[in-house]
Structure 1
């Protein structure tokens, strides 16, 4: 039976803004308070989805969240009508209003960790929504994330859903941004690679000194248990604390993997040789031939990687066995990174082609091509069981671009977030979107 890796890209929400909320994310902080363009952001993301679909890759869509999150603001003591809640938050606690308006759910690499049926004990595809408890504006996402994923992957015969881990520091979980799966074929048993920044309980593991390590070893281990993964199909590795302190807030900012290949920076991990040997041995026992591509610091510095998002790229397998790398325009704008990529693709190695996409609106807020997609390996039967409304087609692309043009603003500043009309615009748009994507009632305003 044929199997696929389906990329479900996050659709940018109507309140996309530059709030500078993510401490440790260089781009997010450096572009704080600039005016954003939600319409352009959503159309840039849709253009990438359409391009990959036309290249023959399976492509899906993951809906954004309701923002401002009035429910979250009420939990923090703001009362009255929805309009009064927004007005009072704007007057008394503007940073909380900004956080409640964040469109960060667009980066669905953080939505969940996904284990394919070939790896799990019960033979189902498992999803665990990420608690994202390191940042308040992201910690409020997982209830809606769980409902949306449940509406997309509803067939309990094929799909299993787990609630987010306890929302405490010891179980900080950032989802698939710190998780990669290696395999010979997407339908065969593989090796799941969990990368953590720190351990909550074991002091043997060093921690960064400047920026927080968002993923804990204990969270990764808990997800592996929930998904029924066997020990011989899992590898844990620690992210290098020094690169976290340079702005590498997730592993997908410094490494990307697909199939049998890991593409990574020389400084990405601790005990790299030991980790590579374990991946090679475990994948070998599952019929795979593990291969790695190390980018030397002498050619691309960590700063170059963070500024260009070279590794926050999509590494895709083509029918002829070669690989395609999807990178943001910022890679072409960095001389050292672009020179490295030209040499990489001309060497006749595994990565034969690089395609560049303009994702400036997302990039300025700290997310590149890899942040925008959640990878789900599915066999033909499982793919047929996915809600068909979320699978990208040419007609759906046309409908969604018209929907964006109809509902999105082309400029949004911090002051605009205090406008109660923005909430009404968002709800109107999302109510229509749930009909387009056939999701049913997944948002608080539709349920309450």
Structure 2
């Protein structure tokens, strides 16, 4: 049975800020300490989602996670009521405080790895939250990610959920940001391309390799993927050291298409040799280093674009506005215009607030291949239509601040407003009590 790809985008949380916590993410480091605009960030994300929905691409929303995450601060010795904990952490451990407030779960490409029912051993859609052990602020996300995914895709005949892999660097897992499903044709089993930064040996020198080969292999086994339907490829270490912290910063796949930079893979020829017997009609579009230097690809997030197919069969490339501002990238894209293949249309979106923290269009979404029956089995209230889109815009404007500076993270009123916003959101989406604070004192 054929399926369509649902884009599950993370709603930007009300505590979106620029703390520069992600080592190896150049944009995050460059903009650390700037004043953020959570309201604008959330509205920009919603505009992208609605544009996809209007294209006829299935679109759903993933709620933000609860912030601040006080268990992190309590685990490192901060005691007292919430106000006391926040103020003491602000004085003694500001980076730990920033981690507890991080809204990075908005980038759902890191949330989990998803396997289609056509590919899995038991004919169900499989979900595994990423353990995200490489970064403290992200390592607090997996339990909440698991709860939210179970609420949106209830365990049963259609969906099965796995716990994250053990939280150890040797099994570091960054989710779908390092996983691409290619497919010869709709309705046929897919080929899962798992990209890793390290196999335990020598890796990048400047920045850590976040994804481990052992983790990718474990995900494939647990999801029941056939060996013939999996391919493993290593990132080029020079790309990681240039700021390519995830494969989706340097390559994107969709259907039979793999769009990548020349420096994306350590052994491109070996990868293509493994793919072509499984995908005879594979389209491989490579951008040469001489045309778009690696640093320009990273600065523009050219490859963190989304590739989608509209109901009329058109292939649409959705790019960040920054691609028009980097000379080599703009020139390359100008050359693609009007060719018809592999992209029938290029669309640019303003995602400045996300881009300043190092997340482009593809970072904001988790791809979930679903049949019609599977889509009917998921929580209906999170599917984006015009009513929900307008409802969420109104919710954001009412609850979100238009200015959030590092010093605001000690403000208990921000914590109270964040919980109020999330409590109302769960009622609007009809997903029940999914947050820790909603069960306090129950």
TM-score (structure 1 length as normaliser): 0.97
Match of 1:244 in 2: 240
Report deviation, 1:87: 1.6
Structure 2, unaligned runs of 5 or more: none
Q: Deviations over 1:413-439 (max 9, x none)?
A: 000010011110000000001111112
- 1:178 aligns to 2:178 (yes or no): yes
Q: Deviations over 1:200-239 (max 9, x none)?
A: 3xx3xx4000000000000000000110001000000000
Q: Deviations over 1:353-402 (max 9, x none)?
A: 11000000000000000000000000000011010011001000011011
Q: Deviations over 1:18-58 (max 9, x none)?
A: 00001100100000000000000000000000111011110
Match of 2:431 in 1: 439
**Contact 1:323 1:353 (C-alpha < 8 Å) held by counterparts:** yes
- 1:33 aligns to 2:25 (yes or no): no
Alignment partner for residue 283 of structure 1, among 258, 279, 284? 279
Match of 1:354 in 2: 346
- 1:121 aligns to 2:111 (yes or no): no
- 1:394 aligns to 2:386 (yes or no): yes
Match of 1:215 in 2: 211
Match of 2:42 in 1: 42
Match of 1:193 in 2: 193
Match of 1:417 in 2: 409
- 1:112 aligns to 2:112 (yes or no): yes
RMSD between superposed Cα atoms in Å: 1.0
Following the alignment from structure 1 to structure 2, what is the Cα–Cα distance between the partners of residues 148 and 237? 30
Moved more, 338-347 or 140-149: 338-347
- 1:330 aligns to 2:326 (yes or no): no
Alignment partner for residue 408 of structure 1, among 400, 418, 433? 400
Report deviation, 1:187: 3.5
Following the alignment from structure 2 to structure 1, what is the Cα–Cα distance between the partners of residues 99 and 57? 34
Alignment partner for residue 312 of structure 1, among 296, 304, 307? 304
Task: Name the SS of the counterpart of 1:401 in structure 2.
Answer: helix
Task: Name the SS of the counterpart of 1:423 in structure 2.
Answer: helix
- 1:298 aligns to 2:294 (yes or no): no
- 1:261 aligns to 2:252 (yes or no): no
Report deviation, 1:82: 1.7
Following the alignment from structure 2 to structure 1, what is the Cα–Cα distance between the partners of residues 225 and 213? 15
**Contact 2:56 2:311 (C-alpha < 8 Å) held by counterparts:** no
Following the alignment from structure 2 to structure 1, what is the Cα–Cα distance between the partners of residues 395 and 422? 10
- 1:271 aligns to 2:267 (yes or no): yes
Following the alignment from structure 1 to structure 2, what is the Cα–Cα distance between the partners of residues 134 and 231? 27
